[in-house]
Amino acid sequence: MLTALAGDDSKTWKLLRDVSTGRYPLEVGPWDRASIWWAVGRDNDEIAGRPCMFNDEWTFSRDGAMVFDAMGDYWGEGGIVAEDLENDCQSTNDMVGPDDEDLSAWGGGEFTYVLTPGSDPKLKVDGLGAFVGFFKLGNLEEVSVPQTSVTYDIVKLSDGDVDTLIVEGQYKWDDTDGGYWRFVLVHYDNPDDEPDLPTGTAPTAGFTATISGSTLTTANASTDGDTYEWDFGDGTTSTEENPVHDYAEDGVYAVTLTVSNAFGSSSAGPMVYVASGSSPDLTDAILQNGSWTIRIEDYSVFVGPGFGDASWWSVPEDGLNGTSTGGDDWSCLADDEFTFSTGGVYGYDTKGTVRNDGYFEGLSGNGCYSDAELAGVTNDGKMYRTFANHSYLFTPASGGDNATITVTDGAADAKAFIGFYKPYNGGENSDQANAAGGGTTSITYEVLGYADDSTQEYLLVSVDYTADQNGSQAWSIVLVR
């Protein structure tokens, strides 16, 4: 293993430039590796945009020495460097934090390392400012100042025409949940084999769409695209620039667009739509015809920069169906019942368990808890309990306006919501010190669609949580019965 890392005398490594194999130089995602949150070169042109990272060199010698050469420049990571240095390449002569912290130790120098082989191989780099790949990752945390040492798990270390070193480390925001950073470095036996950095512009994907009955009409807003790949969520695709798609069955569908050119690719969406060509318009009577629960599929509880937009994050199906555990377990949300009754009565039933998503003070972390544990919560979170006598108002769609459902608290110690307690009009329940719902007593949900495929009914609702209600941030929920 030492020879693979340091050669016969020494070996110099640089961040990977070629992402055609599906590996990325920098990658970040959740602990369970169920997805990749973001990666340099994945649906973006960050390789071209961060040349100051791709000239960095790490040289490991057999005697335990490591030299890092930043080549005089570095990437000004937002939130770590001073505001005027953020999100661009900067000189290593100017490495300061937001409060004038001295970050110069990250600018290069001579360090040492310890390589631990075996079934769980490790690479530890020692010395103030030592790191491999990207300075943001420390030991089980993301850091904003240089560390005295960082230890990485070695995922792969291979020796060939193109040697590969993959290291990663975890960070956490509580005892049960967190993420990982992974860094891929390469060494070319023939330096001329290293590919040049791309100089063109990768595309940027974007689209809007409208649905009328079962017909989806798209409007492509992408830039610099050469090819287009639409996925309509029903098993069909299109390579047209602005396709029109007819759904064969009523239901809820997630639509994505991937745009590509010679310099990369970019994806937009998913955007979630309801096909309802054979379904009646939603009425108050239909709404009342039985209890609703959250659909146990992907894109059933999600958040994004608009109504029905799942592009920021979505609860995975594994979280809703009970497969995931601990902080990733959302199954206690999936059995909750939401019931609309005559006379404007609205009820919520936890069915014995609730999901904590950071707001319930006194619980040990995110995940599922019993009603008894909810009762012991020491802030307003305990108000999100079973209660049968809230009220609601259904307003039918009119003209170009969606139908809406407004739910109102039925008691001073019980909060009304639909689907997921976190969002409300004007904010999110995240700061445990704040009043539940920001102190408001009602929430209005936009009804984005209703469908009945004769075996199941679908209801897609969305809540704007921006302070000025401009529609640019929304949680959306798919309910079924």
Question: Cα 321 to chain center, whole Å?
Answer: 19
Q: What is the pLDDT of residue 180?
A: 97
Q: 348-401, pLDDT tens digit by residue?
A: 999 999 999 999 999 999 999 999 999 999 999 999 999 999 999 999 999 989
Structure tokens at 440: 């408001």
Question: What gap in Å lies between CA 474 and CA 466, rounded to an integer?
Answer: 8
Listed as own residue / partner, the contacts of 149-156 with beta carbons closer than 8 Å and 24 or more positions apart are: 149/124, 149/125, 150/124, 150/125, 151/122, 151/123, 151/124, 152/122, 152/123, 152/124, 152/125, 152/183, 153/120, 153/121, 153/122, 154/121, 154/122, 154/123, 155/182
Question: Cα 137 to chain center, whole Å?
Answer: 18
Three-state SS at 62: coil
Q: Which CATH superfamily is domain 207-275 in?
A: Immunoglobulins (2.60.40.10)
Q: What is the pLDDT of residue 112?
A: 98
Q: How confident is the model at residue 161 (pLDDT cuts 50, 70, 90)?
A: confident
pLDDT beyond 80 at 175: no
CB–CB of 144/79 below 8 Å?
yes
Question: What gap in Å lies between CA 215 and CA 146, rounded to an integer?
Answer: 55
Q: 30-65, pLDDT tens digit by residue?
A: 988 888 999 998 878 889 889 999 999 999 999 999
Three-state SS at 459: strand
How far is the CA of 80 from the CAs of 159, 328, 437, in angstroms? Answer: 35, 28, 32
Q: What is the pLDDT of residue 44?
A: 81
- Residue written as token pair 């299109």: 238
pTM over 0.85? The answer is: no
Question: What gap in Å lies between CA 67 and CA 111, rounded to an integer?
Answer: 6
Q: 289-340, pLDDT tens digit by residue?
A: 999 999 999 999 999 999 999 999 999 999 999 999 999 999 999 999 999 9
